[in-house]
Each structure stands twice: as structure tokens, then as C-alpha cells.
Amino acid sequence: MIMWIRALKAARVAAGVSQDGLAEKINWSASTIAAIETGRRKPTFKFAEEVDEVLATGGLLTELLDRAERQRTPAWFLAWRKIESEATRLRSYQLALIPGLLQTEEYARAVISAGGLHTPAKVEELVRVRMERQELLTRDNPPECIFILDESILSRPIGDHAILDRQLQHIQEVAKLPNVRIHILPTEVGAHVGLLGGFIMAALPDVDPAAYLEDVAKGHVADDEETVTLLNRKWDCLLGDAASTSASLRIIAKYRLTP
């Protein structure tokens, strides 16, 4: 990422544009641009594309960012990572675990290290990537994010009970963001249309919506009309069965070890 930052600075300076000037041209805050140029915040593909356009770099920054991501992210996840970063609305349903965008670092580490499938170094790299993804929740112009979580997730002690408790506390905090809504699907619902697994749906500017699904080996992006229509119907059913946002927070509170 250091090389990407250098390329950004070089392109900006060559164009005679200050950080404030770039912020005005692409409608991002100057503080965000400063954070990106100092490595305190990770650039998104949307940011890279907008800078490429206003600085007339011929797509260089987007290409360099894509190369950097390919070195750090599983190949099958790259397509979704780009879609996620550009989405204006994300709807996520999960049956078995807290979704990545809501995970604490220690919860994510427990999930990724389960079974010893990755080396310790790879685990830490994947955890960093997951934490970086969460920046979209609080970035400039963040997407609307709606999460439906099966109630069983709230009692599954991933890591240990203390890690789970801190994870639930984190969800309570994230739920305060104006662009985030969290719904719990109560166990008492019984059979429902989400029992076969979770999915995420993304609304995108100027293009058709896309979805992300995972199996036991990897995830994949689906954007065909049949799949998207089916998932929209499933989402409507799940949201209809889920508790309201206020009731959901009360459900989460019941599972906390500490008040």
C-alpha cells in the first residue's frame, strides 16, 4: 500500500492539486484524503476511480489498488470487495455467525483461525483486511446497511464467552450509527427461508444490484436476474419475521454477560 500512496501523492502533485483542492473536486473530505495519504485509512476502489478521473491518470491508481488487493485478499473475494466498497445500500442476512462488517478484531481472529487452516501470519493478514472493510460504515457518504442476524448467533461462544460478550457490545455500539439497522430473527420463528445459509445484497449506482453467497469452500458474486429476484423475496420474508430494531437491541441485551 506504500507504493499506492506514493503514486497518489505523485499524481496529485504533478497535477498541481492540493489535498483541499482534490477534496473539492471529488467531494470527499480533506481529512479523509489526509488520512489515506498518511496510511491511517485505506483507499476504496470508488476513491481510486474518482481520483483517476479528476487527475487524468488513465486508471493507474485503480489498477495499482487492484494489484495490491490481489496480494492480500483471496481471489474469489476480490469481485465482492469492489462491489461492497461502491454500494449505496447493503443488506446482509447471516445464519451462523456475526457478519464480517460487524465483527470485532478478536471475534474475527477466532473465526478465521478455527481449524488451523491458515498460518498465524495469514490469519493476521485476513483479520486486517476484514477490519479495513469496516471503514465503509463510517466513511464519508457511507452506504445504508441493514443486518438480519439469526438469534442463535448471539449465544454461540466463538473464541470464548468473554469475546462473544464484547462482540455483542460492539453490535450495540454500531447500531447507534445513523446508516445502520440491526434486526434479530427470533428462534421462536422456527422454520424460515434463510435456513440454508446467509447472503448479502448490494445496491449500486447506475448498475444492476448484485449478491454475494458463500458455500463451504468459497464465496461468489451473483448478478443474474433470477438469483437476485429470489434473494429479494427471501429478504422480504426474513425481514417480516425479524424483530424491530428496538426489540432486537433488547434481545441482544439479554445475551450480554455484563449490563
CATH label of the domain that carries residue 10: 1.10.260.40
Helix then strand then coil, % of the chain, to nearest 5 = 55, 15, 30
Q: What backbone phi and psi angles, to 5 degrees, belong to 94?
A: -130, 140
List beta partners, residue 93: 148, 199
The angle at the Cα of 111, spanning 106 to 113, to the nearest 5 degrees, equals: 90
d(CA 115, CA 123) in angstroms, rounded, equals 12
- CA–CA separation, 102 vs 96, rounded Å? 14
Quote the number of domains for the chain: 2
Question: Looking at the structure, do residues 98 and 219 belong to the same domain, yes or no?
Answer: yes
Q: Are residues 38 and 126 in the same domain?
A: no
DSSP single-letter state for residue 216: S
Please check whether residue 206 lies inside any domain of the structure.
yes
Residue type, 143: P
Shared-domain flag, residues 147 and 28: no
Per-residue pLDDT of the chain (259 residues; tens, 9 = 90+): 678 888 889 989 989 989 899 988 888 888 888 988 888 887 888 888 999 998 999 988 888 887 777 666 666 677 888 899 999 999 999 999 999 999 999 999 999 999 998 899 989 989 988 998 999 999 888 999 999 999 999 999 999 999 999 999 999 999 999 999 999 999 999 999 999 999 999 999 988 999 999 887 788 999 999 999 999 999 999 999 999 999 999 999 999 987 6
The verdict on residue 77 lying in a domain is: no
Q: Are residues 122 and 186 in the same domain?
A: yes
CA 53-58-64 angle, to 5 degrees, is 100
Q: What's the pTM value of the predicted model, to 2 decimals?
A: 0.76
The reply to whether 233 and 148 lie within a common domain is yes
Q: Give the domain range for residue 51.
A: 2-69
- The angle at the Cα of 222, spanning 220 to 225, to the nearest 5 degrees, equals 170
Measured CA to CA, the distance from residue 30 to residue 117 in angstroms comes to: 41
